[in-house]
Amino acid sequence: MARIGAATETVGTRDALARARLRASLVPDLLVEARRVVNTVISGWHGRRRRGIGENFWQFRPYVEGEAVSRIDWRRSARDDNQTYIRDREWEAAHTVWLWADPSPSMLYKSVGASVSKESRALVLVLALAELLSRGGERIAWPGLTDPFGARNGAERLSSHLAHATALPERPDLRAVRRFSDVVIASDFLDPPEETMAWLDVLARHGARAHLIEVADPAEETFPYSGRTEFRDPETGERLTAGRAETVAEDYRSLYLARRAELQAWCRRLGWSYTVNHTDRLASEALVRVHLSMGEPSLIGMHA
């Protein structure tokens, strides 16, 4: 499926240097917005909620033969004549979370019904996650831009790298991602699903978990155009003029949603999460879903 945008509403440019300058000018404000989003949702959140080594209690669960007897909670077990219980602790060991926001020209699209461009929303989500994860002691990284690092000011450090990057690959090499890592990818995912799957297949083969955030402009989903309308592909510059745009609306919407459904089903089979965040909705909605998905032992495809 081609990336499409109304010519009067698309800001895409093929000049990488100009895009880098634009991104650098936006990053400070986006970091402020990311921290604001984090502060609105962080109250009451506790850790990653995964079973593992640590000091904080997580849950009681039935003892399974072969587990260390030292892990049995005898006080809790004494309250049940028929069951012996293990005291699970919450996972506290830091691991690496790779974060990436799609820098391709189609992400600059912003319709009149959206509050921000897709690129701005994707960067806010990634920086918000960087802030949240860094506060929790996790290591973060951006493929092709930074090596994994741990720091309380991780979001600030990541935004500095982004502001000074002269060019970002539209599809970074993900072979450096190792087993047990999490990878968060914010994109519009408008490429053909088979191309996206082929690119991300390396993560499945390496045993990493991915969390896909589809950033969608409301106009891309609803196709509100009618009458004579010119569309331009921001990736190639190709133009298409529709004499009566409303006549193709139903077919367009069917193809658009079928692409999403195919990616969601693929992620579900792999145990990955898939979240949709519309640019006329709050960024915090996606932030909560993705953060919760990262703490689940078995992931279920999610969408808004």
| CATH value at residue 289 | 3.40.50
Whether residues 67 and 41 fall in one domain = no
Whether residues 96 and 182 fall in one domain = yes
Q: Report the pLDDT value the prediction gives residue 15, as an integer from 0 to 100.
A: 65
Q: What is the domain range of residue 25? A: 5-46+92-294
Whether residues 71 and 187 fall in one domain = no
- Which residues, 6 or more positions from 119, have their beta carbon under 8 angstroms from its beta carbon? 23, 101, 102, 103, 107, 108
Please choose, from the candidates 49, 129, 54, the residue with its C-alpha nearest in 3D space to the C-alpha of residue 97: 129
Please choose, from the candidates 175, 170, 183, 198, the residue with its C-alpha nearest in 3D space to the C-alpha of residue 273: 183
Residue 278 lies in a domain: yes
Whether residues 79 and 114 fall in one domain = no
The encoded tokens of residue 31 equal 């970091």
Residue 226 lies in a domain: yes
pLDDT tens per residue across all 304 residues of the chain: 444 444 434 444 446 677 778 788 889 899 999 999 998 887 545 444 444 444 455 567 787 776 677 778 888 888 887 888 877 654 444 589 999 999 999 999 999 999 999 999 999 999 999 999 998 889 999 999 999 999 999 999 999 999 988 878 889 999 999 888 999 999 999 999 999 999 999 999 999 999 999 999 999 999 999 999 998 888 788 998 988 999 999 999 999 999 999 999 999 999 999 999 999 999 999 999 998 888 775 443 344 4
Residue 214 lies in a domain: yes
Residue 51 lies in a domain: no
> Can you say whether residue 287 is alpha, beta or left, with left for phi > 0 and alpha for psi between -120 and 50 degrees?
alpha
Q: Report the pLDDT value the prediction gives residue 57, as an integer from 0 to 100.
A: 54
Enclosing H/E stretch for 209? strand 209-216
How many angstroms separate the Cα of 213 from the Cα of each of 46, 73, 264, 278?
23, 40, 11, 10
Residue 284 lies in a domain: yes
Residue 215 lies in a domain: yes
Q: Report the pLDDT value the prediction gives residue 46, as an integer from 0 to 100.
A: 46
Domain boundary among 69, 89, 109: 89
Whether residues 65 and 205 fall in one domain = no
Whether residues 68 and 169 fall in one domain = no
Whether residues 163 and 73 fall in one domain = no
Whether residues 210 and 78 fall in one domain = no
Cβ-based neighbour number of residue 112 at 10 Å: 10
Question: Domain tally for the chain?
Answer: 2
- The phi, psi pair for 69, rounded to 5°, reads -65, -25
Whether residues 164 and 68 fall in one domain = no
Q: Report the pLDDT value the prediction gives residue 140, as an integer from 0 to 100.
A: 95
Q: At how many degrees (to 10) do helices 118-135 and 154-164 cross?
A: 140
Residue 216 lies in a domain: yes
Whether residues 66 and 107 fall in one domain = no
Q: Report the pLDDT value the prediction gives residue 56, as an integer from 0 to 100.
A: 55
Whether residues 205 and 149 fall in one domain = yes
How many angstroms separate the Cα of 154 from the Cα of each of 119, 255, 260?
20, 39, 31
Q: What distance in Å separates the CA atoms of residue 186 and residue 108, rounded to the nearest whole number?
A: 13
Q: Distance between alpha carbon 282 and the CA centroid of its chain, in Å?
A: 14
Residue 300 lies in a domain: no
Whether residues 137 and 69 fall in one domain = no
